[in-house]
Amino acid sequence: MYVVKSPLSDTDLRTVSEALQGALVDLVDLSLVAKQVHWNVVGPRFRSVHLQLDEVVDVARTHSDTVAERASALGVSPDGRASTVAAGSGISAVPAGWVKDSDAVGALVAALGAVITRMRERVGATGDADPVSQDIFIGITADLEKHHWMFQAENA
Ligand SMILES: [Fe+2]
């Protein structure tokens, strides 16, 4: 269904909408993984890791909304359904059950690393097609890399 007219050409729109949809899926899953670990973390560093994980949830939720609404603004329907997220996320599933604090930190280092790699690919793919969307990906990558640094420092 045609609803919102895009300012981009069809070719550029295809490139950018793929990148935005991929980012949406990764960020929704990141918010879910961080909450799962937030609820299940155990160990002497419980409190600091538990609170730190909610900071990642907030960042992931905020940015998932930004990329979804950027897609809408370009005339592309965003798809944040659970089945779509499960099928397309770049983050490996975390095991069920309690998570030792050092493993929780390791899980977030891995999850953030996976999303950052894919987000940097989106930065590279969208510069010519739509620098406005690229700017969004750059801002998201900076935020994720900050959290990636802090989790790596936690397990050093
Ligand atoms: Fe909580």
Is the Cα dihedral 96, 102, 108, 114 positive or negative?
negative
33 CA distance to ligand 1 middle (Å): 13
Rg of the chain in Å (alpha carbons): 16
Amino acid at 12: D
41 CA distance to ligand 1 middle (Å): 11
pLDDT for 83:
98
122 CA distance to ligand 1 middle (Å): 31
Instruction: Confirm if 148 and 109 have CB atoms less than 8 A apart.
Output: yes
Each of the 156 residues of the chain gets a pLDDT tens digit; together they read: 667 888 899 999 999 999 999 999 999 999 999 999 999 999 999 999 999 999 999 999 999 999 999 999 999 999 999 999 999 999 999 999 999 999 999 999 999 999 999 999 999 999 999 999 999 999 999 999 999 999 999 988
Q: Could you say which DSSP state residue 42 is in?
A: E
Query: Which residues is 100 bridged to in the sheet?
Result: 42
pLDDT for 35:
98
42 CA distance to ligand 1 middle (Å): 14
Q: Could you say which DSSP state residue 155 is in?
A: T
39 CA distance to ligand 1 middle (Å): 7
50 CA distance to ligand 1 middle (Å): 8
131 CA distance to ligand 1 middle (Å): 36
Q: What is the 3-state secondary structure (H, E, C) of 117-134?
A: HHHHHHHHHHCCCCHHHH
The pLDDT mean for the chain works out to: 96
Contacts of 72 (CB under 8 A, 6+ apart): 4, 78
What are 29-43's pLDDT values in tens digits? 999 999 999 999 999
Phi, psi of 117 (to 5 degrees): -55, -45
